Structures are given as structure tokens and as C-alpha cells.
Amino acid sequence: MKRRAFMNWVGVSFMATSLPVAIAACSPAEDTAEDAAEDVTEAADPCGATEAATEEVDSSVRDDGFAALGTVTELDDAGFLADKDFVAGAVIVIRDPANPDGIIALDSMCPHQGCHVDWTDTEFACPCHGSKFSTDGEVTDGPANEALGSYEAKIEDDLVLIQTT
Ligand code: FES
């Protein structure tokens, strides 16, 4: 067998033997009882990333008038936290670019016609008519002509807290 023919034969043989393995590896596996037990163990692990990413916080209003919007971990992972239906009103929170330990909490409702602004990593932008706002909520581009409202906010332990009153 000549070298070229041999290499073609080896290539075809490799594809023929590895294809079923590749297909099996990409197929959804059925969970066994052992897998299910592992899943429960991972979910119960307080140090697990899955737990931190899906953690539910108690957002009821505390005695000091603050309520938790989410965790600092969630804020830092996503770059922002937002809730249109938060107990204090629509809110969006970012890290303060001038003070990495601080946070900025703004009313996410655009003063132009009431759409909710998005965080773009450098500014707030309204998806409806293109208004833009600086990190402190001031208008940098219309048609909005008023700044975003603000909330008092603080970090306590791993919670992002917003004043509700
Ligand atoms: Fe935001 Fe119009 S509602 S720019």
C-alpha cells in the first residue's frame, strides 16, 4: 500500500471508530439515581457557584427601611442589578466607577416616556428613543430632559440594600 493510500485508510478508519463515541458524548444523558444525588449535593453546597448564582434573598422591608435587591456576588457577576417591580420602585444598581467599594442605585424608569433603561457597561441607555444617562443618572443625550431619580443604597455583608422610604 502506498503512503497516500495508507494515510487515507487510517483517516477513514479513525472517523469510523470515533464517530459513534462523539455522537454518544453529545447525546443528552439520562440522569441516574447517582447523578441526581450528586445534583442535590452540589445545590446544597453553600460555597458552590450554582448556589450563589441562583440565591434568593429576602427582599422584605427591614426595620431600618432598607430592602435587599440581591447579593454583591450577583452584582459583580452581572455588572448590574435591576428590578422593575422592586418594593421601593423600579431600580437599577451598578458599582460606583469612582469608588469600587460603593454602589449607585437609580430609578430605572426613563423620564421621557417611562421605558426602563439598560446598563451598557459605561452608561445607562433607554431602548425606546435612545436617551442616554451618565453613571450618576444625568442626561447625556435626549430626548429625555430630566435625570434618572436616585435611591440611597448600601452594601451590608453580601447584600445590596435599597432604601424604600
Ligand atoms: Fe426613554 Fe423615550 S422613553 S427615551
**Alpha helices, DSSP H only, in the chain?**
3-26, 33-44, 49-53, 72-78
- Indicate whether 58 belongs to any domain: no
Residue minimizing CA distance to atom 4 of ligand 1:
129
The atom of ligand 1 lying closest to the CA of 113 is 3
In a domain, 122, yes or no: yes
Report field, pTM of the whole predicted structure over 0.75: no
Ligand 1, atom nearest to 131 Cα: 4
Say how far apart CA 49 and CA 121 lie, in whole Å.
23
pLDDT at residue 3, as a whole number: 52
Q: Using a 6 Å CB cutoff, which residues line ligand 1?
A: 110, 112-115, 126, 128-131, 143-144
| Substitution site in 107, 108, 110 for ligand 1 pocket (most atoms within 8 Å of beta carbon) | 110
Q: How far is CA 54 from CA 51, 70, 96, in A?
A: 5, 10, 24
Protein residue with least CA distance to atom 3, ligand 1: 113
73 and 46 housed in the same domain? no
Structural domain for 106, as ranges:
66-163
Indicate whether 79 and 136 sit together in one domain: yes
Nearest-angstrom CA–CA distance, 23 and 21: 5
Are 101 and 151 found together in one domain?
yes
pLDDT (tens digit per residue) in 6-17: 445 444 444 444
Sorting pLDDT into bands at 50, 70 and 90, what band is 165? confident
Overall average pLDDT of the 117-125 stretch: 96
Q: Hunting for cell 433607554 — which residue is that?
A: 126
Residue 134: CATH number of its domain: 2.102.10.10
Answer yes or no: do 73 and 48 share one domain: no
Dist. CA 12 → ligand 1 center (Å):
60
pLDDT of the residue at 24: 41
Contact 108, 90 (CB under 8 A): yes
* Identity at 33, one-letter amino acid code: A
Cβ neighbours of residue 78 closer than 8 Å, sequence gap 6 or more? none
User: Which of 162 and 15 is assigned the larger pLDDT?
Assistant: 162
**Structural domains counted in the chain:** 2
Average pLDDT over the chain reads 77
- pLDDT tens across 15-72, in order? 444 444 444 443 444 444 444 444 433 333 333 333 333 468 888 899 999 999 999 9
**131 and 105, same structural domain?**
yes
H or E element at residue 122: none
